[in-house]
Structure 1
């Protein structure tokens, strides 16, 4: 099933894994971008701010599924490399049980405590009403999203990257179509935007369920493996907890960021960041695709004790990703105003956003080393260094920078925090990865 991970050329494997992952991330990014465009043009500027506040909450919950998926897929990849299929099945069954249980808990807590949750994440003033309307609808689709995000890396781990791509493409198409119907033609406003998003999450989750019930792979949904095995759960959480903690850190960042944006720039600054964030998600999709493609290749060969191929995978991935990131950087620097104009006709946003966009993307060419470096330790099952390196940018650097720099430089202090955090986290990751390679892969 996965012999190609130890026999095909690394460049070929990386392309086969990264291209579908990139396309999936691209479509998912387009999904959110189109969402932002539609609400910005068909509702109002505050709708962009509302989505900017709500989406980190939804994705924190989905990241629980993603963390369980990535942690489990790392174990699955290594056990497939060792031909230990029983362990792989047990891990997958426990992933399903964890994802469903935690997602249902979120629905209960989120429904009851929605207002304080939204206020914590920066819903202030006139943002509160549209944010509440949107949140109370999408909350019902988040368990499906969590299940899809859990299944996505597992599908890649069993060597089916094209199907993993469809877990992201299908809901994106559904959301875009439903946005047009609910917002443009039926005039349902933020409720319509939330309903479209929630249904699209369900489409993704149901597709993943279909895949694992079908004959498309050897890993199946088998109820007898749903029984929680605490040793497996600890192993999943040790690795998947990295993703969950990272997203939790991003949630803390968003709390501080949204409060800083509102304090130093008002509601308009939250909308500005909403546009920048969507452009960032879209622009970086191929780099993230390379990182996702890197994980199963490195994990399999690490499990098979093939150090030479692991090193080659690291080098090739960094080379590919850096080249792509440099092209992205050039495009952003040349066409900032044109990119912003896609999202809005509001003159104030058009005046203020391009400069902020340029500043936030200044360190883009160097980011691949940080992404691949932290991903390597995750693929190798080394939880602590993977966790620390993953938290470098958002946790150790960006949160304090976003909090302190605006005190001296106002709203520009927020924007300049991003490239500074990118450079510092990349430097630390490079030094740590180089030490690891010299010590354990030679």
Structure 2
């Protein structure tokens, strides 16, 4: 009874506490959680890029891991499909519970259906990629030299798909209840464990790339166990039980509708990786694939803080939108734009001025560092405006506007980036692939600005 009262007070605080205080309380742990989460793959890349036992092949090992990134991204995309699609709906129902207490039961059913979807995704993804692993990696750009590294990493990583699905897909349901610190700890446990296990498996046990994969899946499994344990406990207002795992088509349809946007955002990364890697192999070779892997890692470092901040404040948007407190929603949007803008400008400026310092975290190859010095500032140039699109995306997902959020997701990657990456190399060679990113990002950010202003004025 006492635990239920605390959870109810925490939920109602989303609709009554000061916006700045709420944003600080929820967003700060979320930012830290996202920064910690990105360490999973970035730490792998850092260690693999400096594998001394591979000698001259360390850059090939890094490139091999880069080939696996589309599949890793796709696995995470399915997690987002269920988790990021379901959590805002659950938060909206919790907001409605101020007027209708029965809405809490609906929120719990949403959690159960999301968990059911994650189980199905895990079975299908693991089976598919284990059977078609080699042709898929070859299609994604693996060469004869890099295929053994990519195969070693992916063979192990796929065994932990269910853990990845649960740790990434269920954690948003902790955040949407206002348990931002608990959500952060969930990721922190796995990330710290990964940092500890990586050097043990890679260097001490001499397992190389395969050791990095073992460290990652063990860490994800521990994180998943922690998250499921919390959602099954009395501390969680919407509790995960076997009884609510029964699929309900109407709820799955709603989750799918809203989850399509974050899914497209992440799944299209796989398509981009394929286009990029095939083009880089054709016009530049393995060395440019390795350089692109580093650039995408730096891009993650820049993008993750704003994504974490936006994810932290999204429950505030959803809850107050569900409670019809639109002035509070508008205040969150204004402050989110300001904070995201400051963070992004500072990070892009740092990476543009010191590109080789960022790149040297991942490699000591002089040839790759020369590429980074020249092209990294170009590749991230569009991120000066990306914070606007990120804020718009968060707003539309938060208020349950699936159509607009899906359009924004598709615009940058499918409509603009992929065609540009295919066409520009014909005129500018390998560098044309790197030009595609800033052009697509700038155009989509400007479009998102117009859509966000319209939605803000109507609210």
Contact 2:33-2:183 at 8 Å conserved across structures: yes
Q: Aligned residue for 2:84?
A: 70
Q: Contact conserved, 1:142 with 1:201, CA < 8 A, in 2?
A: no
2:436 is aligned to 417
1:57 and 2:76 matched: no
| 1:32 Cα offset (Å) | 2.1
CA RMSD of aligned residues (A): 1.3
Q: Is the 8 A contact 1:58 1:142 kept in 2?
A: no
Which residue of the partner structure matches residue 11 of structure 2? 2
Q: Which segment drifts farther, 261-270 or 351-360?
A: 351-360
Partner of 1:15: 24
What secondary structure is seen at the aligned counterpart in 2 of 1:342?
coil
Map of 1:398 onto structure 2: 417
1:180 paired to 2:199:
yes
Partner of 2:237: 218
CA distance in 1, matches of 2:247, 2:378: 47
Q: Which runs of structure 2 are paired with 1:248-267 in the superposition (5 Å)? A: 248-267=267-286
CA distance in 2 between partners of 1:209 and 1:181 (Å): 27
Question: What's the counterpart of residue 287 of structure 2?
Answer: 268
Q: How high is the TM-score relative to the length of structure 1?
A: 0.97
CA distance in 1, matches of 2:358, 2:264: 32
Asked whether the 8 Å contact 1:33–1:279 carries over to 2, the reply is: no
> Which residue is 1:364 aligned to?
383
1:151 corresponds to which of 166, 170, 174: 170
Whole-Å separation in 2 of the counterparts to 1:15 and 1:28:
19
Equivalent residue for 2:155? 136
Distance in 2 between residues matched to 1:192 and 1:151, nearest whole Å: 26
TM-score (norm 2): 0.93
8 A contact 2:272–2:418 mirrored in 1: yes
5+ residue gaps, structure 2: 1-9, 98-102
What is the aligned partner in structure 2 of residue 332 from structure 1? 351
Maintained 8 Å contact 1:49/1:274 = yes
Unaligned 5+ segments in structure 1 are none
- Among candidates 162, 165, 169, match of residue 181 of structure 2: 162
2:399 pairs with one of 368, 380, 385: 380
Q: How many angstroms apart in 1 are the aligned matches of 2:457 and 2:302?
A: 33
Give the alignment partner of residue 215 of structure 2, picking from 167, 171, 196: 196
Contact 1:183/1:192 (8 A) holds in 2: yes
SS state at 1:165 partner:
helix
Identify the match of residue 109 of structure 2 among 80, 85, 90. Answer: 90
Distance 2:415 2:309 in 1: 24
- Paired residues in the alignment total 440
CA distance in 2, matches of 1:278, 1:301: 35
Q: Please, which of 430, 433, 440 is the counterpart of residue 452 of structure 2?
A: 433
Q: How does 1:311-350 map to 2 (within 5 A)?
A: 311-350=330-369
- Preserved CA contact (<8 Å) 2:50 2:364: yes
Q: CA deviation at 1:363?
A: 2.5
The equivalent position to 1:37 in structure 2, one of 41, 46, 62, is 46
CA contact (8 A) 1:311 1:437 kept: yes
